[in-house]
Amino acid sequence: MQDKKPQKPNGLLYHFVYGIAYLFFKLVYRFKVDRTDAPDSSEPFVLLVNHISNLDFLLPMLGMYPHKLNLVATMQMFRMKPLQPFLWWLGFIPKEQFVSDPKSIRHIFYMAKQGGNIEIFPSGQSSYTGESTQIDPNIIKLLKKLKLPVYSLRISGMHIALPKWNMSLPRASRVELKVSRLFTALQLDTQSMAELYPQIVDALYFNDYDWQQKNRIKSFRPRCAEGPEQLLYSCPKCSKEFTMRSKGNTLWCSHCGNAVNMDEYGFLSAAKKDDVSFRTPPEWYTWQKNEYRRTFGSASVYSEPCRLFRISDAGKYLPVGEGTFYLSRDMFEYKGTCEERDIDYTINNHLYPNFSNEISGYFNIEIEGRIYAIQPLNSPAVFKVTILKELFSESCVMEA
């Protein structure tokens, strides 16, 4: 993509999109916003937002109105050619997820100097489980250099409404937004990274199932449980990997027959007396992670055969190779073919805390400055890679 500078949002288009989003979220999800701590001046600011669904890019518009925002958005959106001019007019700033992208950093500073309000999702990708994911501590370095006051926006209810593992239809829910003042420019300057980071984590933490437990928003029938077996792939009874299947509101294990039902609220329970279940997807996901924390040692290596695709500027996935990936605590390695040549490419896990991934069975990596997608032949392996990368990233944060 050409090195095009972002701009302040076009007022007419911004207000039009705001109006459409307001009507949609008000009619479908009865959204409400607490603006008690919202900025009351024209001074530019940074807004940090928790990332809970694929529609999150619209909600800060509603939460911060009438302030206009320059959203740092995934490059995936800009690869949708029909949308591209509208994204520029709305002031979006493109960024590749989980890779070094100096161009986007330059654009962020450029817009800050132009008086723009910078909106960032520090987790980098929306949550699949309904609970917060790891936030890269390097966000503190960016905030300190920007020297702008920082606000947070916490979104609740959107995972219950539109879980990323099944976005076929909106589900019964309510959407709540809460604006908070996080840091002044002086606090950013005087506090250390160790002091600032936990405040950001706390301000943006969410668990939509805790929120649902309090609000108890019921659907007319048991909610569809088709899709989460991609990330909840280990059976809680026999512990076999990649054996979970789904149909209707039931998940079951193809190895031992253990079955789990999803109810009208989105909670899980054992289908029969001797079945084993977790109450929520975050609990199930955390159990899987803890199993690897216990069994995946410093010398362990996880590998899977895979296909390699180049992602074109138009967002098309072009097959360019096949091989095997290897993941250890320190390195990710791809061995195979790429663009009609043999390669052995390694990535340091300390430099790349995670990979952008999709429920459809891909995760993205950067090879020699170009973005490629890896498709494991075993589709749920994408989320095993995600869990292991999260574990390695957590250990790096603790060591720092």
Q: Along the 400 residues of the chain, how does pLDDT read in single tens digits? A: 557 889 999 999 999 999 999 999 999 999 999 999 999 878 999 999 999 998 999 999 999 999 999 999 988 788 788 888 999 999 999 887 767 778 899 999 999 999 999 999 998 888 999 999 888 888 999 999 999 999 999 999 999 999 999 887 778 789 999 999 999 999 999 999 999 999 999 999 999 999 999 999 988 778 899 999 999 999 999 999 999 999 999 999 999 999 999 999 999 999 999 999 999 999 999 999 999 999 888 888 999 999 999 988 778 899 999 999 999 999 999 999 999 999 999 988 877 778 888 777 899 988 888 889 999 999 999 999 999 988 887 764 444 4
DSSP for residue 131? B
Q: In whole angstroms, give the CA distance from residue 233 to residue 381.
A: 9
The residue type of 372 is Y
Cβ partners under 8 Å of residue 42, min gap 6? none
Distance CA(141)–CA(122), nearest Å, equals 12
Task: Tell the residue number behind the tokens 């998940």, with chain if given.
Answer: 251
365 touches 334 (CB < 8 A): yes
Q: Is the pTM of this model over 0.85?
A: yes
Residues facing residue 305 across a β-bridge: 324
| Domains 11-215 and 302-399 alike in fold | no
Residues whose CB falls within 8 Å of the CB of residue 303, separated by 6 or more in sequence, listed in order = 324, 325, 326, 327
3 state SS of 154: strand
Residue 133 is given by DSSP the state -
Distance CA(306)–CA(312), nearest Å, equals 19
Determine how β-strand 317-327 pairs with β-strand 331-338: antiparallel
Query: Is 145 within 8 Å of 2 (Cβ atoms)?
Result: no
Q: Where are the domains of the chain?
A: 11-215, 228-295, 302-399
Residues 6+ apart with CB under 8 A from 399: none
Q: Which CATH architecture has domain 302-399?
A: Roll (2.30)
DSSP line for 306-318 = EEEEEE-TTS-EE
Q: Render pLDDT for 340-385 as a digit per residue (tens, 0 to 9).
A: 999 999 988 877 778 888 777 899 988 888 889 999 999 999 999 9
**Cα(26)–Cα(40) distance, rounded to whole angstroms?**
24
d(CA 52, CA 220): 24
Contact 234, 291 (CB under 8 A): yes
Contact at 8 Å (CB) between 160 and 130? yes
Cβ neighbours of residue 158 under 8 Å, at least 6 residues apart? 52, 53, 55, 56, 59, 173, 175, 208
Superfamily of domain 11-215: Glycerol-3-phosphate (1)-acyltransferase (3.40.1130.10)
Cβ density class 186-224: b for 16+ within 10 Å, e for less: eebeeeeeeebbebbeebbebbbbebbeebebeeeeebb
DSSP assignments along 71-95, one per residue: EEEEHHHHTSGGGHHHHHHTT-EEE
Task: Classify each residue of 358-386 as buried b or exposed e, where b means 16 or more C-beta atoms within 10 Å of its C-beta.
Answer: ebebbbbbbbeeebbbbbbeebbbbbbbb
Contact yes or no for 372/309 (Cβ under 8 A): yes
285-309 residue pLDDT tens = 999 999 999 988 888 899 999 999 9
Rounded to whole angstroms, the Cα distance separating 216 from 313 reads: 43
Tell me if 225 sits within 8 A of 171, measured CB to CB.
no
